[in-house]
């Protein structure tokens, strides 16, 4: 064969091979079917950082073997299932090829965007799960076309808008979960068409409102109904009794009102009823006793009234009953003794009376028994020891009497015992301290007596011990040093004697130590736990010096040693207590100069009390650095020099330097100019320009200029008052004329009332004034039909903000303690608000009287005494729904209440300025910020009401001439 021909044949073979290879390559890369192409297109729209979809390969002919894809025998995709994968992108909207798709699951995959309307075209879909993503927008109406849909899971997204009204078209729907979105509107009545619906969960949509539709009773297959943490309002419909298969009803933390329907007794399969934190009223239905399968009954924080039905004793399967924070009366039913499976019984904060029924001891599975904040009386039954599983027993704030039963030591699982604020007497049983799991023992404010048993040292698990406010005597047991986990000790206000045992140094976790108001002797121990943050040893008989070891307490924030007999110098090591915000050593025998180191403690901001000692010398110049300090008391010492060093202390709220030997001119600052003379008294060398501060030491050379000055001031003030009076009268006449001339009135009434604006304006006279405020003056106006209104005229027509604010706020509020806004009127020059007239007057008028001189002190005292006769302590001044909170929360509320009392003093000069209020509020803080008495949150269905709170000892010092300065932080 010629070479040329051979070359041509070879070239032809090479070309043919190339063509065949190209065709084969093209065939391999273009053989993927339509379904695969759609999935690959969706894959390209994702921003996934993982290669979880790496098996989605274009070289495959079919996607049936791809990850998350399932096909039928015909190669048609029937299921897409991608769970908990990081896809980061939108939902697919190009799945028209998936005509046989039955299941679409793309959950917890970081999907964003909206739900495409095209979803409604996949008519074979029976299961959709798009939960746990970040989908937004509305639920498309097209979903209602999916007539074969049985399960729709859209929970835990950011979906908005209303639940589609056409949802009733999905007659085969069994599972509908929409919870934890941002849905609004009402639950559509068409929901009643879903007769196969088993689960409806739409909780966590706070803008979901309206009443639960009566048609819900047509969903006879319903097993779970969850609408918690929504704005669902109104009463539960009686049709709920038609739900014979329902097992769980959870509509808590919502706006339900009205009574629980008796028909609930028809829900024979009901196991869990969660209706807490609503405004449900009326009694607990007796027919709940017919629910023999009931396990959890949580109705706390409502407005339920009446007695607890005896019929509940028939719910023999129940494990948790929580009726706390209601208005229930009567006694604890004896039938509860039948509830042998009951684990938690929580009846706190009601008005229950009677005794603790002995039958309760039959509830051998009981772990939590909480009956605090009631009116329960009688003794704690000895049979309480039968509750071997009991871990928490709260009975504080009742009227319980008798001894603490020794049998309580048989409750070997007991962790927290709070019997505070009762009338218990006798001794503390030593057997209690054999409880190896006990962490909290609170017995404060009873009539307990006798010694603290040395067996207390055996209770090494104890963290919180409160025995204050009793009549305990004897010494503090040295065995307490064995309690390594002890964190909080309050044994104040007892009759304890002897010294503070040095063994307390062994309590290396101790942060709070309060022993005030006892008869303790000896000296302040050299060795105290370095973990201490609060120490109150005041009002005892402690002697000796304060040693250098005080500097080891580097975590200390409050140290109160007042009213003792401690002497010597304050050691300079106090500077090491750099977190100290309060230091009180008043009424002792300290001497020498005030240590400069006190002025170098940067945190000192609440109070420094050095009064009633023997300090001498001048105020250290370092005190000028105490820029945060609010209260300083140096009275009743032997201090000399001037007060110029205090001029720069801009945050001072109270200063007392009386009964010293200070001299020189008083600093010319606004604070010192307003300082009461009693806080400067008995300093003969102290003066201001024009006179000596001490009235008793004022010489004749200064009296005449002072008298001339006073006379001049009085004459000038009189002239100014006359001019102002004339101005006001003229301005009022002109204004009244102008108001009557301007007829362009706009008026809105919220109630049906018959009067004209002229009926109001003509009565706005000085004789009808009943009060004034910061934004206006209030008149009593009688309209033609005889009704009396209170009309508030704004001070200035420019005060549109205050006027508009009252309209918007009070116009929408209806509350028994808030005066009702009836309407408003406005023109160019005048703005009026119309309120109900309350003829009983105000608290101010009751205390101050209507006359010029006001009510005398006896009248005020009688009124206050009568008003507070029913109040057991300051806690009773709070809203009943606030009681029973954790110690730190109640502590804040009560101390804030104390500050508010200062703000309403009858003497304007005694009312604190805003900076003063801020300084006092800084004192208020959580002492025990950890989860203390409430270890389990109410939000998790297992509530543990907090420990008890003692009445606060509020002491307001008006000077220290009698060395009575006191500061207490015992309400923790």
CA-closest candidate to residue 955, choices 516, 310, 566, 411: 516
Q: How many residues does the chain have?
A: 972
Residue 752 counted as an annotated binding residue: no
SS3 143: helix
934: phi then psi, degrees, rounded to nearest 5:
-115, 85
CA–CA dist 952, 708 (Å, integer): 48
Per-position b or e across 946-972, b if 16+ CB within 10 A of its CB:
bbbbbbbbbeebebbbebebbbbbbbb
CA–CA dist 359, 429 (Å, integer): 24
Q: For residue 289, give both structure tokens.
A: 């006793």
Contact 185, 164 (CB under 8 A): no
SS3 688: strand
Contact 176, 198 (CB under 8 A): no
Residue listed under structure tokens 């805003």: 914
Contact 769, 776 (CB under 8 A): no
Contact partners, residue 932, CB within 8 Å, separation at least 6: 440, 464, 886, 887, 888, 946, 947
Contact 197, 222 (CB under 8 A): yes
730: phi then psi, degrees, rounded to nearest 5:
-65, -45
Count of beta carbons in the 10 Å neighbourhood of residue 567: 16
CA-closest candidate to residue 658, choices 608, 623, 611: 611
CA–CA dist 228, 250 (Å, integer): 6
CA–CA dist 480, 451 (Å, integer): 14
Burial of residue 333, with CB atoms counted within 10 A of its CB: 0-12 exposed, 13-18 middle, 19 or more buried: buried
CA–CA dist 421, 468 (Å, integer): 11
887-903 helix and 914-921 helix, angle to the nearest 10 degrees: 160
CA–CA dist 117, 782 (Å, integer): 63
Contact 419, 404 (CB under 8 A): yes
Contact 580, 600 (CB under 8 A): no
Q: How far is CA 55 from the centre of its chain?
A: 53
Q: What does 188-257 look like in DSSP terms, one character per residue?
A: -GGGGG-TT--EEE-TT-TEEEEEPPGGGGG-TT--EEE--SSEEEEPPPGGGGG-TT--EEE--SSEEE
- Partner residues linked to 162 by β-bridges: 184
CA distances from 641 to 24, 375, 572, 618, 645 (A): 107, 60, 22, 5, 10
The torsion angle over the Cα atoms of residues 269, 270, 272 and 277, rounded to 10 degrees, is: 170
Q: Can you say which residues are annotated as belonging to the binding site?
A: 793
Residues flagged as binding site for ATP: 793
């Amino acid at each position: 064969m010629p070479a040329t021909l051979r070359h041509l044949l070879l070239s032809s073979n090479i070309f043919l091979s190339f063509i065949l290879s190209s065709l084969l390559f093209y065939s391999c890369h273009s053989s993927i079917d339509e379904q695969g192409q759609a999935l690959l297109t969706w894959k390209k729209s994702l921003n996934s950082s993982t290669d979880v979809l790496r098996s989605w390969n274009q070289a495959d002919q079919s996607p049936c073997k791809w990850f998350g894809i399932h096909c039928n025998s015909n190669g048609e995709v029937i299921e897409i299932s991608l769970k908990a994968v990081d896809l980061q992108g939108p939902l697919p909207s190009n799945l028209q090829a998936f005509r046989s798709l039955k299941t679409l699951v793309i959950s917890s995959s970081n999907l964003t965007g909206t739900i495409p309307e095209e979803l409604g075209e996949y008519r074979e879909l029976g299961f959709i799960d798009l939960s746990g993503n970040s989908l937004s927008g509305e639920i498309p109406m097209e979903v209602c076309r999916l007539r074969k849909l049985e399960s729709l899971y859209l929970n835990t997204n950011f979906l908005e808008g209303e639940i589609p009204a056409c949802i009733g078209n999905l007659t085969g729907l069994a599972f509908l979960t929409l919870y934890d979105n941002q849905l609004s509107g009402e639950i559509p009545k068409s929901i009643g068409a879903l007769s196969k619906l088993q689960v409806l969960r739409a909780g966590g949509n706070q803008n979901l409102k309206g009443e639960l539709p009566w048609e819900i009773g047509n969903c006879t297959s319903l097993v779970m109904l969850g609408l918690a943490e929504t704005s669902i309002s109104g009463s539960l419909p009686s049709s709920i009794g038609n739900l014979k298969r329902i097992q769980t009803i959870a509509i808590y933390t919502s706006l339900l009102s009205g009574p629980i329907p008796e028909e609930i007794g028809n829900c024979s399969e009901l196991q869990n009823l969660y209706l807490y934190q609503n405004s449900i009223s009326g009694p607990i239905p007796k027919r709940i006793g017919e629910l023999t399968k009931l396990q959890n009954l949580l109705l706390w924080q409502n407005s339920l009234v009446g007695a607890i039905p005896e019929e509940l004793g028939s719910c023999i399967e129940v494990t948790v009953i929580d009726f706390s924070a209601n208005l229930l009366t009567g006694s604890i039913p004896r039938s509860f003794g039948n509830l042998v499976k009951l684990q938690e019984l929580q009846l706190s904060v009601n008005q229950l009376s009677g005794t603790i029924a002995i039958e309760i001891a039959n509830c051998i599975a009981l772990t939590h028994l909480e009956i605090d904040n009631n009116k329960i009386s009688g003794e704690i039954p000895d049979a309480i020891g039968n509750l071997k599983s009991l871990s928490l027993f709260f009975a504080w704030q009742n009227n319980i009497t008798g001894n603490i039963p020794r049998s309580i030591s048989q409750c070997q699982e007991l962790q927290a015992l709070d019997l505070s604020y009762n009338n218990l007497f006798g001794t503390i049983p030593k057997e209690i301290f054999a409880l190896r799991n006990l962490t909290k023992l609170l017995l404060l404010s009873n009539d307990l007596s006798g010694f603290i048993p040395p067996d207390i040292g055996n209770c090494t698990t104890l963290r919180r011990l409160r025995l204050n406010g009793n009549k305990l005597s004897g010494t503090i047991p040295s065995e307490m040093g064995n309690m390594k986990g002890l964190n909080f000790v309050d044994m104040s206000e007892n009759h304890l004697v002897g010294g503070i045992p040095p063994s307390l140094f062994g309590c290396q976790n101790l942060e709070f130590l309060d022993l005030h108001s006892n008869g303790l002797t000896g000296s302040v121990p050299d060795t105290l736990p370095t973990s201490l943050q609060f120490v109150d040893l005041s009002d005892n008989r402690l002697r000796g010096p304060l040693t250098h070891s005080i500097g080891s307490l580097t975590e200390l924030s409050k140290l109160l040693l007042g009213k003792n007999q401690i002497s010597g110098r304050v050691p300079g090591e106090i500077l090491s207590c750099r977190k100290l915000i309060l230091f009180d050593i008043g009424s002792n025998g300290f001497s020498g100069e005030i240590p400069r180191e006190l002025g170098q403690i940067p945190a000192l901001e609440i109070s420094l009390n050095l009064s009633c000692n023997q300090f001498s010398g001048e105020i250290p110049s370092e005190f000028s650095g105490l820029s945060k300090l609010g209260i300083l008391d140096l009275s009743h010492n032997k201090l000399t020099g001037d007060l110029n060093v205090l001029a720069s202390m801009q945050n001072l709220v109270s200063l007392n330097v009386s009964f010293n030997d200070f001299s020189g001119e008083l600093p010319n600052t606004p604070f010192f100019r307003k300082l009461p003379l009693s806080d400067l008294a008995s300093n003969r060398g102290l003066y201001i320009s024009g006179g000596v501060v001490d009235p008793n030491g004022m010489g004749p050379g200064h009296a005449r200029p002072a008298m001339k000055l006073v006379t001049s001031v009085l004459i000038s003030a009189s002239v100014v008052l006359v001019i102002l009076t004339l101005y006001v009268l003229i301005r009022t006449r002109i204004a009244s004329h102008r108001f009557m001339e301007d007829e362009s009135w706009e008026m809105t009434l919220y109630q049906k009332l018959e009067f004209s604006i002229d009926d109001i304006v003509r009565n706005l006279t000085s004789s009808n004034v009943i009060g004034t405020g910061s934004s206006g003056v209030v008149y009593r106006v009688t309209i033609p039909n005889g009704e009396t209104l209170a009309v508030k005229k704004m001070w200035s027509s420019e005060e549109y903000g205050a006027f508009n604010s009252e309209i918007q706020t009070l116009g929408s509020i209806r509350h028994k303690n808030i005066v009702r806004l009836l309407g408003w009127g406005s023109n160019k020059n005048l703005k009026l608000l119309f309120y109900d007239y309350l003829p009983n007057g105000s608290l101010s008028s009751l205390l101050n009287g209507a006359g010029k001189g006001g009510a005398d002190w006896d009248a005020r005292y009688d009124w206050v005494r009568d008003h507070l006769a029913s109040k057991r302590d300051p806690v009773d001044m709070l809203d009943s729904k606030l009681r029973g909170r954790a110690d730190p929360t109640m502590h804040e509320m009560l101390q804030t209440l104390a500050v508010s009392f200062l703000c309403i003093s009858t003497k304007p000069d005694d009312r604190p300025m805003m900076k003063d209020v801020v300084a006092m509020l800084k004192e208020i803080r959580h002492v025990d910020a950890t989860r203390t008495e409430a270890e389990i949150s109410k939000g998790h269905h297992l509530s543990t009401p907090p420990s008890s709170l003692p009445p606060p000892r509020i002491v307001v010092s008006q000077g220290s001439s009698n060395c009575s300065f006191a500061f207490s932080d015992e309400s923790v």
